[in-house]
């Protein structure tokens, strides 16, 4: 199934926030709308607009890396988050390998672990 854009992504107001949670709203940037898989994140500017709407600090001006890198990273992180949520919903302990690999690209980052009770612990390295 191919992703389509249902709404004009040049306007921040097209973004829907229905999850009541930052991670769920992030996952919901790709969802079914009228039986079509819809991705509201099509450009770096869409990612920045989404972050601004949720009052997540965003760098002003141009991005310090080439076009498309922010979008690619956001989509990768979204798929990692979706897999973790699906694991939790099915009663499984979520695998944190992909998320820790993603976080490890930052100069200082969190490392996530789970215990037997499926609680997630965060350690900064």
Cβ count within 10 A of residue 29: 19
Q: Are 112 and 100 in contact (CB under 8 A)?
A: yes
Looking at the structure, tell me whether residues 42 and 62 fall in a common domain: yes
Looking at the structure, tell me whether residues 82 and 23 fall in a common domain: yes
Answer whether residue 8 shows pLDDT above 50.
Answer: no
Segments forming the whole domain that contains residue 115? 93-125
Mean pLDDT for 32-39 is 89
Looking at the structure, tell me whether residues 118 and 73 fall in a common domain: no
Domain count, the chain: 2
Looking at the structure, tell me whether residues 85 and 123 fall in a common domain: no
Looking at the structure, tell me whether residues 100 and 52 fall in a common domain: no
Looking at the structure, tell me whether residues 75 and 97 fall in a common domain: no
Q: How far is CA 6 from the centre of its chain?
A: 19
For the entire predicted model, the pTM comes to: 0.74
The secondary structure of residue 124, as a DSSP letter, is E
Cβ count within 10 A of residue 77: 18
Looking at the structure, tell me whether residues 34 and 84 fall in a common domain: yes
Cβ count within 10 A of residue 12: 13
Q: Which pLDDT tens digit goes with each residue over 98-120?
A: 999 998 887 777 888 888 777 88
């Amino acid at each position: 199934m191919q992703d389509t854009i249902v709404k004009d992504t040049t306007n921040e107001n097209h973004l829907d926030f229905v999850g009541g949670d930052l991670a769920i709203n992030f996952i919901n940037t790709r969802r079914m709308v009228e039986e079509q898989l819809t991705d509201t994140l099509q450009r770096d500017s869409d990612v920045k607009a989404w972050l601004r709407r949720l009052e997540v600090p965003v760098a002003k001006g141009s991005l310090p890396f080439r076009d498309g890198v922010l979008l690619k990273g956001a989509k990768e992180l979204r798929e990692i988050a979706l897999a973790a949520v699906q694991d939790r919903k099915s009663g499984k302990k979520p695998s944190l390998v992909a998320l820790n690999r993603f976080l490890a690209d930052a100069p200082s980052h969190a490392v996530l672990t789970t215990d037997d009770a499926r609680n997630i612990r965060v350690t900064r390295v």
